[in-house]
Structure formats: structure tokens, C-alpha cells
Amino acid sequence: MREQEAAARARNFEEVARGYLADDAMRESERCLLCPDQPCVSGCPVGIDIPGFIRRINEKDLRGAYDVLTATSLLPAICGRVCPQENQCEGQCTVGQTLEPVAIGRLERFVGDTAIREHWANIPYIEPNGLKVGVVGSGPAGMACAADMAKAGCEVTVYEAFHQAGGVLKYGIPDFRLPNTVIDAEIGNLEKLGVKFECNTLVGRLFTLEQMITEMGYDAVFVGVGAGYPTMLGVPGDSLNGVLSANELLTRCNLMRAREFPNFDTPQPIGRRVAVVGAGNTAMDAMRVSLRLGAEKVYCIYRRSHKEAPARAEEIHHAEEEGVEFHWLTNPVAVLDDGNGNVKGLRCVRMELGEPDSSGRRRPTPVAGSEFDFECDLVVYAIGTNANPIMGQTSGLRLNKRGYIDTDERLATSLAGVFAGGDIVTGAATVIQAMGAGRRAAAGMKAYLGLRDGNRPYRDGAGDTLFGIDAGERNFARIRV
Amino acid sequence: MSNYEIVKREDFSDVTYLLEVRHPMMARAAKPGQFVVVMLSEHGERVPLTIADFDREKGTVTLVVQAVGKTTRQMQQECKPGASLYGLVGPMGIPTPPSHARKVICVGGGLGVAPVYPQARALKESGAYVIGVIGFRTKELVFWEDKFGAICDELILCSDDGTVGLHGRVTAGIEQALKKHPDVDEVIAIGPPIMMKSCVETTRPYKIKTMVSLNPIMVDGTGMCGGCRVKVGDEVKFACVDGPDFDGHRVDFDDLMTRLRRYSKEERMALDHWEKGCRMQRSIDQAEGVQK
């Protein structure tokens, strides 16, 4: 795929990967074997008919390809950019056993971008059913749930605490990876389905989940507020000026547009040398944003090795190309003070890998006497998040031991009519997993509301259907008095 | 776009002003101790401000602001009745839990007089004996003396320069109140960090529970960024979702004050940039006036 030159792009916020041209897409689509067992589909968290859409690209039927994609995926332009395809569809690809796998993500993005450019939208005929659904959080989980419920005929309102909708897609993922225009186009599509977005609304504090059900007339509510409570490292010097979470750095830069300071009011001084702790996608974003804000040196500090790094392969590759210095098997033990409460450096220790731990990854252990210092003026923690406490503080929702929301397999919570999904249930995960959770919650919600789930196939000929309705499907009639 | 209309404005001094903003839902939900995040414009920053009062019938929330930085000065210039804010979200933070204290000193330093007012009122309504101690630098800056007096059983007004009331800082007022009422069982102190720090040191020898409301730098105000983290005892807390009220005897105020300074250079830059823009606008206006 065409990309911006590493040296140039490391100083601007334009998109790195330029995307396929029609010829590239055509050529790539020919590599798909259309194999009958479709391993790629089983690798996709939402089960997109991958060979189906690739075949239509090959037939030059892009509109058809878009129809196939949007039958299951709601936001192809976003997923094509941010899914970790190497662990999902592309990781299962038959071609990939011997050659490079088919670039499914890039093809998906190509179709999604074409749809945005051509103003395609698949707006089904929707018959209003009179039911009201509230969605808390406008990130990927909330967007996916809202779309499904709107298509089912519900009147959907999405509440967002920030002043702009999009959640992590807006405040977290930088423009050079996912441009705001793409997010806004996808939000525009949701609005075309009739979804309303209400920003500046902190659910829980402005009104509670219970109030939504009892006073505000919502028949069901989905909670997809994200994990949103960054973990600090807990080493000496954590609170020095110049130590911040990746969430803060990214929010200041992406949503609050600190890179345009002082034309925008929110500042983010970047310093000369930046050390980012962690090696997930958020860490890669933080490093590449730091470069673009003008840092001379950016270090990645990770206690395990390259192999265990959780980021998408492409992100690590891009970060390397742009000049990030990777320090694998390195663990911070203290942030150093310059005497005025500012960061002067980061003291680290070398690590070595021992026996596998509970996550199956080899446990890193410190090498005695290997301490050394990095000189730096900004330290960014990208080491994960904890559960945000607001929902638990303000409602009777049952939480698990770690503070995340407890749900059953249908993503129903302990409050009747309230469903939850995404990071606030599972802990930090990916955009596509959150979208998958939003859709699963929507399916659960439809069953709860007595709406037939159009996505569920009839089991023809099987004994367990009654007048074409799955006998396992509960509450299929809802009587409103 | 969202629209939060300013319905009333009152200037207490050259730098301190009160805004009443229409937001009926928030006026219903707000409780003492909570705060809001304000955005003046689309290009603006997110500024946390403690809720000074709320009127459930009128559907308004009251904010008291001191013009110190770029945004608060711009607000002073632009926020007039009829104008509106670009963003207003809240109420945020854990409301002050109902206190069972029988005798309380409510201390407000400067701007802090505003946020401590709803707490004092709530305590009074719950039947406590409320002693108000409010302090200002000088006589010109005094506001809400009457409003505060009306809900307090006793009010001690202090001024740093002695131009009005007791000559001295609020700590002198606390000492005076404690001499008269050794049975005070709680102190609530809100104001600049340095003032809260000295209040806490004043009450520490008496072992009187002292609650403070912290005001660190925030971005989202929902726990997402961690910029507002403060040291409380040996724990790190996020003021926006774990506070803003904390046990003052356990708060590390030096850490708070250091962290409040972390953007001082940029704050200066933003102010200069804005003032330059204002001067340019004025000269353009003048030039156009001449042409006409």
C-alpha cells in the first residue's frame, strides 16, 4: 500500500497509509482463493463474509462489496484501519500459509473509503417500533449497539460526556491512523439511521441509569463507557511534572488539538526526549504523536521482548520506520527529579524472560545490578487501564472483583433492561472487539425487548421452531399496556 | 450545537465574577461539593469550576470565576447575559457526603467562598451549628458576606490587609472560632491550595476532621486522563472521580502545588497570544471607526 515517506510523515499528522487505488485493490483481490472452508471468516470477531466482498471487488462491483460488508460490519472504513488483522482474518488466511496473506484489512478500508467518497449508505427501511433505547458512551461499542437497535426500529439516543462523539476513536486514535473525517462520516451514517447524539452529558452524574429506565422512558439501556481510568506505574517519581498517561497525551493532542496551540487553548509541551512505557497500540500512538509534536528522541520502554509486544505488527513497523528507539526487556524502576519537580530521566533495569506466566507469555524478571538511566523530559505511561468507577458509584450495577461491570452471556447486567459491553466489561481490548460486544448486547437487548432478531437465521426443518420463530427465543411477543 | 445560555452575571470585583447558566437538568442533579467542566468555545480548553450554587426552580447553575488565565479572562470579557457557553458538562465528582457533625466551621478563602457556600447551607439545613470563616485579600474583593451570614450561626470575616473584619488570614479566624468553640467536630476548607494547606496545619494539633476540595488541572473530568491525580496518604487518587473532597490531613499539598505549575509557561503563552489578538482587534475596530 502507498505510504507517506517515514521521514516526512513523522512530522505531520496526515494519514500514513494512503490506501489502495482501484488497480491495487483489483490486483490484491485476485490473490484470494475463495476457499470453501473460509478460515478468514472464523477469524473475524463479527464474522464478515470476507470472500464474498473480495469476490465483488474482483468483479468491479464495489457497491456490491459495500453491501456485503455492511451486512455485518457497520464501520468498514474504521475497522479496515484499526483491526489487528494479523491475529484475526489475515492470520487464518490460506494464502498466508505459504505467501503474504491476502490484505483483507486494506481491501475493507478501500471499500469503506470508496463508500464515504461516493456517499453510499445502506439505510434500510425502518419501521419504528415505539421503543426507546439509550446508549451511554459514543465509542465503538456504543456506535455498534446504536446502529443495530436503530435498524431494529428503536428510537436511539447516544450520550457522550465529551463535547464530540466518537469516544476512543476521537480522543485516542490519532488522525494519521484514523482521520476524524472518517469517524464523522460513520457517525453521519448512524444519524441517517435516526440515531441522536447528545454530547456534554455525563450519565451517572447528570442522571442515573435507574432514572433512564424509570423516569426518562428508556425501554433498554446499553452501557459502553470504556475502561477509562489509566494505570500509573507506581514507582517513585510518578507524580512529577512531565509524567502523564498516554490517554492524557492523546486526548490533549487529538481531541483538544494541542498541536495547534495556541490557536487552540489546550497545551501539550512535548520536551526533547520522550520515554513511553508499554508496547501496545496506545503506546505506539503516543510515541508517534510525540514525534509529530516535535520530540527529538522517542524511546519505547517495554519489559518483555518484541515478540510479546501487544501492538499491531504494522504499528510497531511504522514506529520503527519513523525513528522510535525500542528498548525491549527494559523495565522502569523510578522517574528521576530535576530538583524542581520536573522529570529529568527514567531509571530502568534490564529484564530477562523466565518461565511462562498465567497469560502464557514468558515472565520477565530483572537482571541484578543492571540499572541504568535514560535522559528524558517526558515520561508517558501506556500500560493499560482500570475500570472507570463512575457507573459503579452512581448505580446499583453489580461489578466484578476488579470493578468491571458483571454481565451474563447475553451482556445483560444485574439491572433489568440494562446491558453493557466493551472495555467496561472485559477490560481494555480492541475497537473491533468493542464493536462485537456492542452488537452482541444489541442482540440480547432485542430478545429482552421482544424484537425478532433479523440477523438470526431461521432453522428450517429443525424441530425447534414454532411458526418460523425459534423456540429458544424468549419474549417474542411484547405487550405494551 | 449545544447551547448553555448565561442568564445572569454579577461582578464582585475587577477579577471575580459570577455567572448563572441555564441547565435545568444539571440544576436538578447538582449537589454540594460537585463541579462542572466548561468550554468557552470550540477551540477552548476544558476548565473545571466548582458549582457555587444551583437553583432547581429557575433551572440554573451558578459559577464564580476568577479571571487569572487566558480562558477565565476571555470569559470575563465574553460571558454576558444572553451569550452562551460552547460546552458545559457535569455535575462531576462525588457529592460531599451528608455530615453528622453538630458543630462545623466552613472556611472559604477568596474564590473558595463560593463553593463552600452550598456545603454550609446543606449543613445548616441538616441542623448543624455553622460557623463561617471567610477571608479575602482586601476589602474590595469581598463578596457574599450577607449571603453567607444568612446561613451561618456565626460569621468571621477576615482580610489579609485588615481593611475589613479580622486583620489576618482565615487561619486566624479558625483559631478564634476554635477558642470559643472547642467542641467543633468538623472543618471544611475551600480555597487556594496554600490556604487549604495552612488550614489543615491549623486544625491538625486539635485533631479535628478537616475536609478540603481539591482543584488540580483536568482535561476530561471523568477519570479518563489521570491528569488530576493527587497524593492522599500513601495512595494516588484522581480528584475528578475519587474526589474532589478529601481528608485534608492526608493530602500532599506540596505535590498538588507543584503539579498545578506544570503548564505555567504555556499558560503565559496562551495569555500573551490572546491579548495580542485582542489588541489587534481593537486597532482594527478603531481603524474601521475612522473610515466610517
pLDDT of A177: 87
The shortest C-alpha distance from A264 to chain B (Å) reads 5
The answer to whether residues A2 and A18 touch, using CB atoms and an 8 Å cutoff, is yes
pLDDT of A250: 93
Average pLDDT rounded to a whole number, residues B247-265:
89
Chain A residue nearest residue B271, CA to CA: A262
Is residue B45 within 8 angstroms of chain A, CB to CB? yes
Question: Of B43, B224, B258, which is closest to A241 when you measure between CB atoms?
Answer: B258
Q: pLDDT for A295-315, tens place per residue?
A: 889 999 999 888 888 888 888
Residue B274 has pLDDT above 90, yes or no: no
Rounded to 10°, the helix B193-203/B170-180 angle is 30
pLDDT of B281: 83
The answer to whether residues A89 and A45 touch, using CB atoms and an 8 Å cutoff, is no
Q: A455-475 burial, b if ≥16 CB within 10 A, otherwise e?
A: eeeeeeeeeeeeeeebeebee
Is residue B26 within 8 angstroms of chain A, CB to CB? yes
Quote the distance between the C-alpha of residue B43 and its chain's center.
24
The shortest C-alpha distance from B289 to chain A (Å) reads 27
pLDDT of A136: 95
CA distances to A78, A238, B271 from B264, in Å: 38, 20, 11
Is residue A162 within 8 angstroms of chain B, CB to CB? yes
**Residue indicated by cell numbers 486514535:** A173
Flag if B91 and A266 touch (Cβ within 8 Å): no
Cis peptide before B97 (omega within 30 of 0): no
Residue B41 has pLDDT above 80, yes or no: yes
The shortest C-alpha distance from A438 to chain B (Å) reads 20
Determine the Cα–Cα distance for residues A225 and A216; give it in Å rounded to an integer: 20
Flag if A205 and B44 touch (Cβ within 8 Å): no
Three-state DSSP at A102 gives coil
Model confidence at B291, in pLDDT bands (50, 70, 90)? Answer: low
Q: Where are the alpha helices (DSSP H) in A377-475?
A: 390-394, 423-426, 431-449
Largest Cα–Cα distance of chain A, in whole Å?
77
Q: Which amino acid is at A19?
A: G
Residue B280 has pLDDT above 90, yes or no: no
Is residue B59 within 8 angstroms of chain A, CB to CB? no
Q: Which of A106, A77, A74 is nearest to A89 (CA)?
A: A106
Triad A290, A296, A300: Cα angle to 5°:
55
Model confidence at B290, in pLDDT bands (50, 70, 90)? Answer: low
Residue B71 has pLDDT above 80, yes or no: yes
Flag if A229 and B269 touch (Cβ within 8 Å): no
pLDDT of A454: 54
The shortest C-alpha distance from A472 to chain B (Å) reads 40
Cell reading at B16? 471575580
Contacts of A269 in chain B (CB under 8 A): 263, 265-266
Q: Which of B245, B262, B237 is nearest to B189 (CA)?
A: B245
Chain A residue nearest residue B47, CA to CA: A266
Flag if B90 and A163 touch (Cβ within 8 Å): no
Q: Which of A382, A188, A375 is nearest to A280 (CA)?
A: A382
Is residue B237 within 8 angstroms of chain A, CB to CB? no
Question: Of B71, B219, B222, which is closest to A252 when you measure between CB atoms?
Answer: B219
Which stretches of chain A drop beneath a pLDDT of 70? 1, 452-481
Contacts of A393 in chain B (CB under 8 A): 94, 241
pLDDT of A17: 82
Determine the Cα–Cα distance for residues B167 and B171; give it in Å rounded to an integer: 11
In this structure, what are the phi and psi dihedrals at residue A390, rounded to the nearest 5 degrees? -60, -45
Residue B131, beta-bridge partner list:
B105, B154
Is residue B241 within 8 angstroms of chain A, CB to CB? yes
Q: Which of B136, B96, B79 is nearest to B112 (CA)?
A: B136
Q: Taking the model in full, what pTM does it have? A: 0.87
Q: pLDDT for B76-120, tens place per residue?
A: 888 889 899 999 998 999 998 877 888 999 999 988 898 899 899
Q: A188-220 burial, b if ≥16 CB within 10 A, otherwise e?
A: ebbeebbbebbbbbbbbbbbbbebbbeeeebbb
Average pLDDT over chain B reads 89
**Residue indicated by cell numbers 512531565:** A242
Q: What is the helix (H) or strand (E) element at residue B188, kind and residue range?
A: strand B186-190
The shortest C-alpha distance from B266 to chain A (Å) reads 6
pLDDT of A470: 53
pLDDT of A453: 54
Q: pLDDT for B217-253, tens place per residue?
A: 999 999 999 989 999 988 899 999 998 999 999 999 9
Determine the Cα–Cα distance for residues B129 and B105; give it in Å rounded to an integer: 9
